[in-house]
Each structure stands twice: as structure tokens, then as C-alpha cells.
């Protein structure tokens, strides 16, 4: 137990634990101090100086986010000295910022704009500095646009890229008036180690880092009478979309989301969950095959542990950082890309449509999915498998553009085919979910029995710990799997690339005995994805996680292999998992990107 600290803030006595910042102490008594560079997921920077407060008897103001409360402090958060100084700081930020707010993608969701509104900054004291800098916009990446003219140098993106993702594609460069957020040699984001995860986008308080939007292209497709536009929605979208449309964190809005998509004019509203279930069939079989090759055939070249391949940020990360481990990746495409490949093959065949008229759109909690859809490998249908990827945020924008009152929409059901899902697919949206879904199915395939966990909830693989480990003993294996009898399956789960990096370093050095590893690029998994509603923090991610598991327990089907549409597609189209057609459409290969 930390010792207690007593201080006074705006005349109110407050007691906090030692080490608590003035900002948090103020928060505990409902005094809001404005912040910009501060973000609860990141280490303290103390550089924007918006959160300054006055301490009695001290000439200089204190950055309340950075200074710990100390005994006897008398703090004023709203004195004349504070207001005057804070206003000057905001005005300085505005003078350096391209303030063409009405033409900005973040118009209405910009933290600097909000602050300027709160302080009613109506005139410009200072000289507009934007013309003094030679700003360029980097819009080469299919995922992220970087516009330095809007950057306020808070370094949230840099801290995100370094501390949460251990990528450091972005760094602070130069000094003084020339200081900027830069990639290596100021190359386009497309050309460097950026994984397109979008965590920086999720934390940028202004419009300096935003997703590349394809809203207009999607509207064009919807309004084109010759096109049949299918949309798939990822598991994590349905538990977060409501946040951007006035609903509380952690509200499940699956039915309303489907209703909204239908009203927007999509010809078919389908579910990525369907291919999540399909992924489990393919990936589970792949794992069992690799185990069999290793244990029965004693093939020394089998790459184990096998690693999941659903998260495109993770894929690009490993392609850059650990190319020697690429054989360990499952060859399964992500659910989005499996869906895309089927949307232009199986789907038109069943619906009697010409695949060339199909436009395939996906709604994802992710910015890296935009890059993934653009990969040259992702054209196995003979067309671009997924034409446009929208983030959860972009879907919310479209719903607002269409004038829909989201909270008043009825709940509707996904269309068929490729619209059915199970609880196993839903939990793909949370860290540990793919692992849990895979175990539910693989254990049953091997033993013929359900996993030995209450209500199928495999608790050891759930939760927000950065790296989780679990072991599962296999007993009573069916005859064809008797080589697994008595074996213990060791698994690991990591989310956030900094944790992925830790696990990969162990794998690369041969220091672990895992058989299967699930990696998600974003903190919390897809529920904390770079394309999810802003803001994000541990509390919000926790609520989204609870929603996902609530959705899972409420589903009539909880295991991927029980999805009747999955059974149907194998019977009618694919044959069997890892069969010829599956290989052609549902599996892929990876690229060594260590040279850039």
C-alpha cells in the first residue's frame, strides 16, 4: 500500500496515493484539466503544456499530467494565470496548425478543435506559421494518410508506434522550428516498416494521421445499378460501432448494424464471421496436419509452432522483422480475404450472378485490412477479392450521411448465403478468441468430445494480459488421432505488437515449446483495432471485450464446425479443409520484407 498524499485542488482537499499525478488527483474530484499529448495507454510526455496548473508559491506552472501530487500542495487549475497561459498555448498550437477545419477529415472529432471551441478562440493573435513550412501530404499508403500541416507534435503516434507496437516506423526528427514526426529519411509510410495497424491513427488527436477513406467509392458502387454490392462485417465492429453513433461503450449492435447496412443500399449484408468459422476449419486442420507430420512422420522440416494469420498488421510486422519465421505462419488467408475470394466465386455461382459485377466491401475494425485487400496475392477469384475496406468509423460516417437514427433502427438478420455465424467466430474480435475457437473445434475433432471447460468458456486464453500461455492435455483421442494421445498442447497468445515481438524473440531463439500461437497486432485484439471508434483505452477495451463474450454466450451455435453454412460450402464447393479448392482460394503465401 502506497502512502497517502494530501493536497488541495481549487480549494478542495483531496487524498491520493503517492505517485498519483496532479491530473489524476483532479480527476478523482471531478475537476477536468484539458490535455492533448496525454493518453492513458502511453507514457507521459508532458510536451503540449495544455494541462498546466498553478502551484501556490511556485513561479512556473506545472504540467499536471507529469508532476506527481505532493503533500501540502495547493493547486489551482483555473486561475487567471493558468487560463491566460493555457489560452496562449492553445493559440500557439493553432498558429502552427493548418486550421482549415471545414475541409478536414477530422472535422467534428478533433481534440484541438474541441479545445479551441471550449476556449472560444475567435481571433488570431499570432501569425499563421503554416506557410513558413514546406508540408507535404503522404497519401501513398492504402491505409493511412499523414498530413504534417495538421500535426501538433504531441508525439502520441511516436509513443504508440514505439511502446505499444515496437515498430517505431515513426520517430521525432529534426529540432526546434523544424521538428517533425517523420519516417526514416522522410519516406512515404508505404515504403517503411509501418504495419498499417492504425494505432497511431486511433491516438492522433488531430487530422495529421487518418485512415484513407473509401466512403465515396462505396457510395458510387451502391448507386451503380449494374453492380451487386456485398458487404461483410468483422466480429469486432458490432460491439463498437454504437460508440460512434451515440451509444455507450460495449453495446452490442449487430441487428441495428445489419439494418443500417441494408438501408444504405448494400445488395447483400453478409458476415465475416462465416469465414472466421471457415478459418477455424482450415487452420485447425492445418495445425493437426503439421502436428501429425512432426509426430508421426517425424518430419524435421515442419514449422512449429504454427502461428495465426488473421491480423494483417501482424503479418506485415513478421514479414519485416522476423522473415525467418514466415514458414511458421498458417497459410490461411484472413477471414476478410477468404470471404473476398468466395464472394466472387462461390457466392455468384450460388446466386447466379456475374462475378465481374460484384463489388465486395468489408467493414473492419482495422486500417491494415485496407493494405491487405490491396496485396497482389489477394486476387485468387480472378478479380480483386475485396474491393473496398471501410473502418468501423467510416461505416458510422456513412450511417450519419444517410440520416439514419441508428438507435431507433430495428434489429435485422444477416442475409444468406455466407451470413451465418457461431459464437466461435464472434470471439475472433478479442485477443485469445481465435485460439479459443480453434481449441473448441480441434479438441472435438481429436477426441470426439467437447472441450473440458464450463460452458465452453476457455478462460485461460481470455483476458488482457500481454502474453498469455495455456496448456491442454489430450486424453481419449479418437483412433485416427491416437498419436496425440497423452500429448499436451502448449499455446501462447499475444496482442499488441510489442508483446508479439517478445514472443517472437523467444520463438526465434528456440526457447519455447509452443505448438500454436495466436497473435493480434492491436491491443486487446480487433476490438482495440486501429479502425475502431476513438477514443480507446483500457477501460473501453474491457467493455468491448465483455460485449464480445456476451454475444458469444448468447449464440445458439458456439463451435465453428457446427456452422451449417460451413458444412454446406464444403459439401457443395470446397470439398474438404486443405483440399484443392481451399488451397486455391483460401490460402496464401508471404513476402520477406526485411530489406525495407
Partner 1 sequence: MKNKNLKKTDVIFSCCVSGNEKFPILAGAIKKDPDLIIDEIIESGLKGRGGAGFPTGLKWKFAAMNRSLEKYVVCNADEGEPGTFKDREILLKVPEKVFAGMAICGQVIGAKKGYIYLRGEYLFMVPKLYEILDIFHAGITELGYDFHISILQGSGAYVCGEETALIESMEGKRGEARNKPPYPVADGFRNKPTIINNVETFVNVAMIQKYGVAAFKKLGTQDSQGSKVFSVSGDTPNPGVYELELGMKLSDFVDEFGDGDTKAVQVGGASGFCVPRRHFEETIIGFEGIPTGGSMMLFNSSRSMYNVLSNYLDFFADESCGQCTPCRVGCQQLTVGMKAIKNGEKDADYLNDLLKLADAMKITSKCGLGQSVANAFSSIVNNFKEEMIY
Partner 2 sequence: MTEESLFIKKLVEKYGKSREALLPILQATVRTYRYLSESAMNEIAAQLDISPAQVYGTATFYTFLDVEKRGKYVIRLCKSIIAEMKGKREIQKAIENTLKIKMGETTPDGLFTLLETNDIGWSDAEPSMLINEMPYTNLTPESVIEIISDLQAR
Stretch binding partner 2 (CB under 8 A), from 7-15, 106-114, 180-188, 543-551: 180-188
Our finding on whether 132 is near partner 1 (CB under 8 A) is: yes
The reply to whether 319 belongs to the active site is no
Stretch binding partner 2 (CB under 8 A), from 18-26, 161-169, 361-369, 525-533: 161-169
* Backbone torsion region of residue 35, taken as left when φ is above 0, otherwise alpha when ψ lies between -120 and 50, otherwise beta: beta
Stretch binding partner 1 (CB under 8 A), from 5-13, 49-57, 304-312, 422-430: 49-57
Instruction: Count residues binding partner 2 (CB under 8 A).
Output: 16
CA nearest to 596, candidates 192, 196, 98, 128: 192
The reply to whether 539 belongs to the active site is no
User: Toward partner 1, which CB reaches closer, 123 or 454?
Assistant: 123
Q: Specify the residue for cell string 464446425.
A: 561
Our finding on whether 69 is near partner 1 (CB under 8 A) is: no
User: Toward partner 2, which CB reaches closer, 505 or 539?
Assistant: 505
Stretch binding partner 2 (CB under 8 A), from 9-17, 98-106, 166-174, 550-558: 166-174
Q: How far apart are CA 364 and CA 277, in angstroms?
A: 17
The reply to whether 465 belongs to the active site is no
Our finding on whether 74 is near partner 1 (CB under 8 A) is: no
Q: How far apart are CA 485 and CA 479, in angstroms?
A: 9
Minimum gap (Å) between residue 170 Cβ and partner 2: 6
The reply to whether 330 belongs to the active site is yes
For partner 2, the binding residue among 120, 185, 300, 479 (CB under 8 A) is 185
Minimum gap (Å) between residue 155 Cβ and partner 2: 11
For partner 1, the binding residue among 25, 33, 61, 395 (CB under 8 A) is 61
Handedness of CA 302, 307, 309, 315 (dihedral sign): negative
User: Toward partner 2, which CB reaches closer, 317 or 414?
Assistant: 317
Alpha helices, DSSP H, located in 8-136: 22-28, 80-96, 111-118
Instruction: Retrieve residue 321's grid coordinates.
Output: 522483422
Q: Specify the residue for cell string 453513433.
A: 245
Query: What's the length of the chain?
Result: 596
Q: How far apart are CA 496 and CA 230, in angstroms?
A: 31
Our finding on whether 298 is near partner 2 (CB under 8 A) is: no
Residue 363 in contact with residue 388, Cβ under 8 Å?
Answer: no
Our finding on whether 42 is near partner 1 (CB under 8 A) is: no
Our finding on whether 174 is near partner 1 (CB under 8 A) is: yes
Stretch binding partner 2 (CB under 8 A), from 167-175, 322-330, 403-411, 557-565: 167-175
Partner from partner 1, partner 2, none binding residue 81, C-beta < 5-8 Å depending on class: partner 1
User: Toward partner 2, which CB reaches closer, 75 or 500?
Assistant: 500
Our finding on whether 497 is near partner 1 (CB under 8 A) is: no
User: Toward partner 2, which CB reaches closer, 166 or 213?
Assistant: 166
What angle is formed at CA 297 by the lines to CA 296 and CA 300, rounded to 5 degrees? 115
Question: What does DSSP say about strands 306-307 and 516-520: parallel, antiparallel, or unpaired?
Answer: parallel
Residues 142-171 binding partner 1 (CB under 8 A) are 152-153, 155
Stretch binding partner 2 (CB under 8 A), from 8-16, 64-72, 172-180, 535-543: 172-180
Residues in contact with 493: Cβ distance below 8 Å, sequence separation at least 6, in sequence order: 431, 432, 435, 461, 467, 468, 469, 470, 517, 518, 519
Q: Is 228 helix (H, G, I), strand (E, B) or coil?
A: strand
Our finding on whether 127 is near partner 1 (CB under 8 A) is: yes
For partner 1, the binding residue among 27, 76, 81, 384 (CB under 8 A) is 81
User: Toward partner 1, which CB reaches closer, 146 or 558?
Assistant: 146
CA nearest to 93, candidates 147, 157, 154, 41: 154
CA nearest to 426, candidates 417, 416, 414, 443: 414
Torsion from C-alpha of 461, 496, 465, 202, nearest 10 degrees? -110
The reply to whether 581 belongs to the active site is no
Instruction: Count residues binding partner 1 (CB under 8 A).
Output: 39
User: Toward partner 1, which CB reaches closer, 137 or 179?
Assistant: 179
The reply to whether 283 belongs to the active site is yes
User: Toward partner 2, which CB reaches closer, 104 or 167?
Assistant: 167
- CB burial readout 34-57, b (16+ within 10 A) else e: bbbbbbebbeebbbbbbbbbbbee
Q: Is 470 helix (H, G, I), strand (E, B) or coil?
A: strand
CB atoms within 10 A of CB 365: 30
User: Toward partner 2, which CB reaches closer, 183 or 447?
Assistant: 183
User: Toward partner 2, which CB reaches closer, 182 or 331?
Assistant: 182
Residues in contact with 240: Cβ distance below 8 Å, sequence separation at least 6, in sequence order: 365, 392, 527, 532, 533, 544
Minimum gap (Å) between residue 324 Cβ and partner 2: 14
The reply to whether 377 belongs to the active site is yes
Q: How far apart are CA 6 and CA 506, in angstroms?
A: 45
Residue 280 in contact with residue 421, Cβ under 8 Å?
Answer: no
Our finding on whether 192 is near partner 2 (CB under 8 A) is: yes
For partner 1, the binding residue among 25, 73, 96, 210 (CB under 8 A) is 96
The reply to whether 551 belongs to the active site is no
CA nearest to 291, candidates 516, 447, 67: 516
Query: What's the gap between Cα 281 and its chain centre?
Result: 24
Residues 404-423 binding partner 1 (CB under 8 A) are none
Q: How far apart are CA 156 and CA 152, in angstroms?
A: 10
Our finding on whether 48 is near partner 1 (CB under 8 A) is: yes
> Which residue ranges make up the site for partner 1 (CB under 8 A)?
44-50, 52, 59-61, 63, 66-68, 81, 84-85, 88-89, 92-93, 95-96, 125-127, 129, 132, 152-153, 155, 172, 174-179
Contact residues toward partner 2 (CB under 8 A) are 162, 167-175, 182-185, 192-193
Q: Which residues are catalytic?
A: 283, 286, 310, 330, 369, 372, 377, 526
Amino acid at each position: 500500500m502506497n502512502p497517502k498524499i494530501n493536497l488541495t485542488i481549487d480549494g478542495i482537499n483531496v487524498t491520493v496515493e503517492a505517485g498519483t499525478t496532479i491530473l489524476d488527483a483532479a480527476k478523482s474530484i471531478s475537476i477536468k484539466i484539458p490535455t492533448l499529448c496525454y493518453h492513458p495507454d502511453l507514457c507521459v510526455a508532458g510536451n503540449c503544456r495544455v494541462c498546466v496548473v498553478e502551484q501556490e508559491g511556485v513561479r512556473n506552472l506545472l504540467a499536471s499530467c507529469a508532476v506527481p501530487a505532493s503533500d501540502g500542495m495547493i493547486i489551482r487549475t483555473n486561475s487567471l494565470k493558468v487560463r491566460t497561459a493555457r489560452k496562449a498555448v492553445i493559440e500557439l498550437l493553432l498558429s502552427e496548425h493548418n486550421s482549415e477545419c471545414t475541409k478536414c477529415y477530422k472535422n467534428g472529432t478533433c481534440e484541438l478543435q474541441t479545445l479551441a471551441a471550449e476556449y472560444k478562440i475567435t481571433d488570431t493573435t499570432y501569425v499563421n506559421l503554416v506557410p513558413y513550412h514546406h508540408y507535404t501530404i503522404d497519401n501513398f499508403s492504402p491505409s493511412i494518410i499523414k498530413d504534417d500541416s495538421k500535426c501538433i507534435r504531441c508525439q502520441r503516434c511516436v509513443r504508440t508506434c514505439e511502446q505499444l507496437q515496437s515498430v517505431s516506423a515513426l520517430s521525432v526528427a529534426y529540432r526546434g522550428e523544424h521538428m517533425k514526426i517523420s519516417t526514416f529519411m522522410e519516406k512515404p509510410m508505404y515504403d517503411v516498416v509501418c504495419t498499417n495497424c492504425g494505432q497511431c491513427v486511433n491516438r492522433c488527436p488531430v487530422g495529421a494521421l487518418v485512415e484513407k477513406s473509401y466512403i465515396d467509392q462505396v457510395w458510387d458502387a451502391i448507386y451503380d445499378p449494374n453492380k451487386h454490392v456485398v458487404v461483410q462485417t468483422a466480429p469486432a465492429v458490432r460491439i463498437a460501432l454504437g460508440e460512434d453513433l451515440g451509444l455507450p461503450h460495449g453495446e452490442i449492435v449487430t441487428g441495428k448494424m445489419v439494418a443500417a447496412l441494408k438501408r444504405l443500399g448494400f445488395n447483400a449484408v453478409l458476415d465475416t464471421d462465416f469465414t472466421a468459422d471457415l478459418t477455424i476449419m482450415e487452420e485447425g486442420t492445418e495445425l493437426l496436419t503439421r502436428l501429425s507430420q512432426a509426430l508421426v512422420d517425424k518430419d524435421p522440416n515442419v514449422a512449429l509452432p504454427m502461428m495465426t494469420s488473421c491480423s494483417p498488421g501482424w503479418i506485415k510486422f513478421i514479414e519485416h522483422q522476423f522473415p525467418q519465421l514466415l514458414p511458421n505462419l498458417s497459410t490461411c488467408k484472413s477471414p476478410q480475404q477468404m470471404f473476398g475470394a468466395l464472394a466472387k466465386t462461390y457466392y455468384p455461382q450460388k446466386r447466379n450472378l456475374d462475378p465481374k459485377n460484384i463489388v465486395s466491401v468489408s467493414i473492419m475494425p482495422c486500417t491494415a485490412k485496407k493494405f491487405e485487400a490491396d496485396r497482389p496475392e489477394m486476387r485468387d477469384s480472378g478479380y480483386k477479392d475485396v474491393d473496398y475496406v471501410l473502418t468501423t468509423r467510416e461505416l458510422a460516417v456513412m450511417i450519419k450521411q444517410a440520416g439514419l437514427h441508428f438507435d431507433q433502427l430495428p434489429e435485422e438478420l444477416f442475409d444468406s448465403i455466407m451470413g451465418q455465424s457461431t459464437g466461435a467466430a464472434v470471439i475472433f474480435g478479442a485477443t485469445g478468441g481465435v485460439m479459443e475457437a480453434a481449441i473448441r473445434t480441434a479438441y472435438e475433432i481429436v477426441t470426439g468430445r467437447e472441450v473440458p471447460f464450463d460452458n465452453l468458456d476457455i478462460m485461460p486464453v481470455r483476458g488482457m494480459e500481454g502474453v498469455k500461455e495455456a496448456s491442454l492435455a489430450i486424453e481419449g483421442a479418437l483412433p485416427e488421432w491416437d498419436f496425440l494421445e497423452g500429448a499436451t498442447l502448449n499455446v501462447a497468445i499475444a496482442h499488441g505488437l510489442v508483446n508479439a515481438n517478445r514472443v517472437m524473440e523467444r520463438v526465434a531463439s528456440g526457447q519455447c515449446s509452443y505448438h500454436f500461437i495466436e497473435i493480434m497486432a492491436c491491443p486487446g485484439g480487433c476490438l482495440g483495432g486501429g479502425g475502431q471508434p476513438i477514443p480507446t483505452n483500457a477501460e473501453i477495451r474491457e467493455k468491448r471485450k465483455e460485449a464480445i463474450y456476451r454475444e458469444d454466450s448468447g449464440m445458439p451455435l458456439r463451435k465453428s464446425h457446427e456452422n451449417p453454412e460451413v458444412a454446406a460450402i464444403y459439401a457443395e464447393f470446397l470439398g474438404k479443409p486443405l483440399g484443392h479448392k481451399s488451397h486455391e482460394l483460401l490460402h496464401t503465401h508471404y513476402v520477406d520484407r526485411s530489406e525495407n
